[in-house]
């Protein structure tokens, strides 16, 4: 089983488009499972043309607790309001003390000062849902959606990947479409993956984000490959990104030109390689996907060539005060 994480460090660079193209292309020859690992803003199902009615199953996800005031026992002393560190407690129009479930972190500080036993309890909060559907391209998509204001997106992504592995066998390729940035969702996406495919565009912000997410991939000792999207917007910076890939031992998979067909295909809720198969972007994306297929066919040699070197052990710096 090979698990590849497609990451970018910055949003809007075409990561989901690359992920969808790779998944569709690999599914023609291999068993593929796609994972949308952006629980805050999942959108891979839209690119693949799926509707809400297509989900085969949905599971509620709960991993956090919130406090709740039992109004029948509350004596309205207001002590909980004074000590809440998150200011999640307020008075409603009827004079009742209530807890905002979006703000509450479940620390139960309020229950420690409450003079009435059992007036404040803790209950599980619904953090979001995890769901799965089989796409028309033959592979299943596992996705998740976090409720507004709820924490622990990284745990939810880990649950998605665990579900994908339960459905996998030794011949399966898991394609993980990571979230933007280098936060907990991306950490969970990269953790345990066999390789990282990094997507960048020729802008200073994206180049800087590429370096950060590449550092994260090296932390997990993962070999990485690079795709440059919209490369012709700034050819000079594209060359600098290519030079960075060569210097840092990233396999360069190819570059995709700016193409109006991509936003048009998104509006049609179709992958660009299906909606506009003869467009320059589609041709370039298919070449990238074929290169990925070639990597899988010669996996061991590719892995040995591009895996990061073992980092030097951490040596703490001890600064002694003067006179010692």
Q: Is residue 248 part of a domain?
A: yes
Q: Is residue 313 part of a domain?
A: no
Residue 260 has pLDDT above 60, yes or no: yes
CATH assignment at residue 29: 3.40.50.300
Q: Is residue 318 part of a domain?
A: no
CATH assignment at residue 98: 3.30.70.20
- For 22-48, write each residue's pLDDT tens digit: 999 999 999 999 999 988 888 899 999
Q: Do 138 and 151 have their domain in common?
A: yes
**Which letter, b or e, does each residue of 145-160 get, where b requires 16 or more Cβ atoms within 10 Å of its Cβ?**
bbeeebebbbbbbbbb
> What is the extent of the structural domain holding 83?
64-125
Q: Do 117 and 191 have their domain in common?
A: no
Confidence of residue 108 (pLDDT cuts 50, 70, 90): confident
Q: Do 16 and 88 have their domain in common?
A: no
Q: Which two tokens stand for residue 120?
A: 């404040």
Q: Do 213 and 285 have their domain in common?
A: yes
pTM reported for the whole predicted model: 0.82
Q: Do 24 and 68 have their domain in common?
A: no
Q: Do 193 and 239 have their domain in common?
A: yes
Residue 14 has pLDDT above 80, yes or no: yes
Distance, in Å, from the CA atom of 307 to the CA atom of 70, rounded to the nearest integer, reads 56
Q: Is residue 250 part of a domain?
A: yes
Q: Do 256 and 154 have their domain in common?
A: yes
Q: Which two tokens stand for residue 91?
A: 């008075």
Closest CA to 148 of 278, 264, 39, 235: 39
Place of tokens 């129009």: 93
Q: Do 36 and 136 have their domain in common?
A: yes
Cross-strand partners of 252: 226
Distance, in Å, from the CA atom of 225 to the CA atom of 147, rounded to the nearest integer, reads 33
For residue 313, what pLDDT is reported?
Answer: 62
- For 263-280, write each residue's pLDDT tens digit: 999 999 999 999 999 999
DSSP summary character for residue 232 = G
Q: Do 244 and 104 have their domain in common?
A: no
Last residue of a domain, one of 125, 140, 172: 125
Q: Is residue 320 part of a domain?
A: no
Q: Do 207 and 296 have their domain in common?
A: yes
Residue 96 makes CB contacts below 8 A (sequence gap 6+) with: 69, 71, 74, 76
For 77-121, give the secondary structure using H, E and C: CCHHHHHCCCCCEEECCCCCEEECCCCCCCCCHHHHHCCCCCCEE
Q: Do 109 and 242 have their domain in common?
A: no
Residue 312 has pLDDT above 60, yes or no: no
Q: Is residue 311 part of a domain?
A: no
- For 217-251, write each residue's pLDDT tens digit: 988 889 999 999 999 999 999 999 999 999 999 99
Domain count, the chain: 2
Q: Do 99 and 232 have their domain in common?
A: no
Q: Is residue 319 part of a domain?
A: no
Share of the chain above pLDDT 70, in %: 94
For residue 181, what pLDDT is reported?
Answer: 85
């Amino acid at each position: 089983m090979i698990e590849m994480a497609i990451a970018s460090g910055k949003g809007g660079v075409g990561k989901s488009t690359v992920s969808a193209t790779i998944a569709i292309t690999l599914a023609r020859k291999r068993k593929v499972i796609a994972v949308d690992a952006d629980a805050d803003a999942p959108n891979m199902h839209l690119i693949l043309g799926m509707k809400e009615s297509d989900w085969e199953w949905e599971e509620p996800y709960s991993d956090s607790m919130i406090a709740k005031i039992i109004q029948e026992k509350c004596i309205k002393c207001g002590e909980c309001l004074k000590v809440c560190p998150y200011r999640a407690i307020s008075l409603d129009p009827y004079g009742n003390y209530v807890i905002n479930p979006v703000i509450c972190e479940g620390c139960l500080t309020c229950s420690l000062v409450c003079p009435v036993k059992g007036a404040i309890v803790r209950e599980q909060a619904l953090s979001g849902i995890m769901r799965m559907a089989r796409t028309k391209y033959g592979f299943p998509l596992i996705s998740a959606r976090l409720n507004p204001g709820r924490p622990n997106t990284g745990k939810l992504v880990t649950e998605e990947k665990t579900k994908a592995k339960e459905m996998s066998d030794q011949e399966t390729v898991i394609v993980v479409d990571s979230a933007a940035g280098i936060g907990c969702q991306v950490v969970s996406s990269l953790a345990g993956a066999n390789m990282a495919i990094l997507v960048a565009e020729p802008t200073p912000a994206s180049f800087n984000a590429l370096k950060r997410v590449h550092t994260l991939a090296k932390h997990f000792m993962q070999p990485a490959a690079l795709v440059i999207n919209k490369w012709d917007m700034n050819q000079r910076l594209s060359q600098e990104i290519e030079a960075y890939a060569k210097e840092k031992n990233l396999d360069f998979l190819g570059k995709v030109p700016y193409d109006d067909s991509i936003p048009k295909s998104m509006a049609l809720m179709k992958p660009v390689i299906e909606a506009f198969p003869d467009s320059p972007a589609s041709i370039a994306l298919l070449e990238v996907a074929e290169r990925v297929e070639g990597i899988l066919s010669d996996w061991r040699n590719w892995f040995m060539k591009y895996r990061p070197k073992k980092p030097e052990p951490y040596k703490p710096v001890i600064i002694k005060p003067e006179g010692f």
